[in-house]
Chains A and B, each alone.
Chain A
Amino acid sequence: MASVRDYYCAPDLYDVIYSDISDDAAFWVGCARAAAGPVLELACGNGRLLVPCAAAGADIEGLDLTPAMVESLRGKLAAQRLRAAVAVGDMRDFTRPRRYALIFIAFNSFLHNLTQEDQLATLRGCRQHLAPGGRLMISVFHPDARKLIEHDGTPRVIKTLPQPGGGSAKVTDRGRCDPIAQLVQVARQVEMRDVRGGVTETHEMSFELRYVYLPEMELLLTLAGFSRFAVEARTGYTAGFAPKAALENGDPVVWTAWKD
């Protein structure tokens, strides 16, 4: 998973790329505040969700694979005078002394598990770290065949984000999909432009995801020892992240699995 480390080694750039994504924060803050005990966020990154959870008074801890993201997160927490235990750690193989009322893996981070063994190791580790009655919650996208087919190596501009000072960040992805291994490889280019449209910086990065179908996730949770779970569709990350009655392809889904 070297590409994951590369992708997440530039926290400031990560903040730029996902500056339009914030609709899921209120949902996770609500979950963290409602938890009847300590909360752990895996793959917490530099705290897009963890910081608002901590600011709302949740007893939250975080783990992330990338030291640069953890360092960036510590800076954000300190700037807001918030206290939260955050550390470098791999979701597939972590050990913490506490047992949690809620463990969550948000915003597709679970999809960085690229093999079945990685998926199961992550789920088993979570179950082990849950207090009795505790919940594991995971949000991932439901695969959309139309989008997967578009991952044919053609560069596609996925968004252009306005930047403070009048410039913009243009994000272009070249995706490849292996539908048998369920792997999506994305080569991403981020062009920073000044107020006149001149390119000031160009960044290249890549990452890989293994997408998961609904029945497959049920089987993974069952194999990891969970016997009770549920899934809920939500509107998109820039469309309110609200509950949705009928799941359509491409929607985010939130899985909840309870430790009995």
Chain B
Amino acid sequence: MSRAEAKDPEPYARPDLYDLLFSRYTDDLPFWLAAARKPRARGPGSGAVLDLCCGTGRVLVPLLEAGLEAEGVDLYPGMLERARTHAAARGYAPRLIAADMRSYDTGRRYDSILIPFNAFAHNLTTADQLATLSRCLAHLEPGGRLTFDVFSATPAMVANPVAEPVMELETDPEPDGRRFQLWDERRLDLPAQTQHSRIEVRELARDGARTATHRFETSVRWVHRAELELLLRLAGLARWEIWGGMDRGPVTADTAMLFVVAEGPGA
């Protein structure tokens, strides 16, 4: 992965900032909860769910609160530490494992594996993508389901790339009046289907003055639907559906995020 070349750290190196920016995002929770709750497959399924790349537990904690037996895997121990704290605050002590999605082994199988919030796109090569999918397949109960979303650059995005930094979000003020802005400056490597982001998190005081700037870098690789089907097939998944959004609508020319549910053989 090209992360080694990055001068600034990944945003996941600052779980506290990550939470300030994203912990209030809940629009996708119904989708992930529904995916995790899918009726149990035939056979002696456990009903267990794995949240792969669970981060600080934004999705994991609601899964626990819904009564599911959920576990989490994430590459960043600092993110997991924060997930542990959030879960404990609600009375849960889920099993959390620091591991790479390309090589994880939790020693058990799940009825449902989720890779929420575009984390799959951090697989920057075909080999990484296939390794992740095959680890997931190895962790699925017979008839179990893998659900994930992944960036898919539209022709319009690729044809007219935005060179300047774009403000992706601004948080509501904290009790002390601080606000946070997430600025993203993107560079597209078209043959590699990779988007390199230079991220600035700007901390603003109540009066709007900037009091701190935190710099990060990260890269994601987008996939096209046809390519995604070949990846699923080559990894050994047997059946899948691909949607253009969390409303399970069709993929269109404007679809920038593909939502996938896939099953292994032997269901």
Contact = CB atoms under 8 A, between A and B. Distances in A.
A157 interface: no
Given A213-B227, A216-B224, A223 B234 contact: yes
Contacts of B252: 180
Contact of B126 (A116, A177, A219, A247): A219
B253 interface: yes
A179 B234 contact: no
B165 interface: no
A179 B253 contact: yes
Given A215-B126, A222-B234, A149 B227 contact: no
A116 B227 contact: no
B118 interface: no
Interface stretch (B150-158, B199-207, B259-267): B150-158
A180 B234 CA distance: 20
Nearest to A223: B234
Contact of B193 (A182, A213, A247): A213
Interface residues of B, number: 23
A223 B191 contact: no
Interface string B196-229: 0000000000000000000000000001111101
Contact of B155 (A148, A215, A216): A148
A145 B227 contact: no
Contact of B230 (A177, A178, A182, A216): A216
B138 interface: no
Given A219-B126, A219-B230, A220-B230, A182 B224 contact: yes
Interface residues of A, number: 24
B190 interface: yes
Nearest to B193: A215
Contact of A116 (B155, B224, B226): B226
Contacts of B4: none
B165 to A, nearest CB: 22
B231 A219 contact: yes
B233 interface: yes
Contacts of A216: 224, 226-227, 230
B231 A145 contact: no
A242 B231 CA distance: 32
Interface in A208-256: 213-216, 218-220, 222-223, 247-249
A210 to B, nearest CB: 8
Nearest to A253: B191
B155 A149 contact: yes
Contacts of B158: 145
Contacts of A222: 234
Contacts of A213: 193, 224, 227
B251 interface: yes
A96 interface: no
Given A148-B155, A180-B253, A249 B229 contact: no
A127 interface: no
Given A216-B226, A219-B230, A145 B155 contact: yes
A47 B126 CA distance: 37
Given A179-B253, A180-B251, A180-B253, A149 B156 contact: yes
A247 B231 CA distance: 23
Given A146-B159, A222-B234, A179 B190 contact: no
A179 B226 contact: no
15 contacts: A146-B159, A148-B159, A149-B155, A149-B156, A182-B224, A182-B226, A214-B191, A215-B227, A216-B224, A216-B230, A219-B230, A219-B231, A219-B234, A222-B234, A249-B191
Interface of A: 116, 142, 145-146, 148-149, 177-182, 213-216, 218-220, 222-223, 247-249
Given A216-B227, A216-B230, 13 more contacts: A116-B229, A145-B155, A145-B156, A145-B158, A146-B159, A149-B155, A177-B155, A180-B252, A215-B126, A215-B227, A218-B126, A219-B230, A222-B234
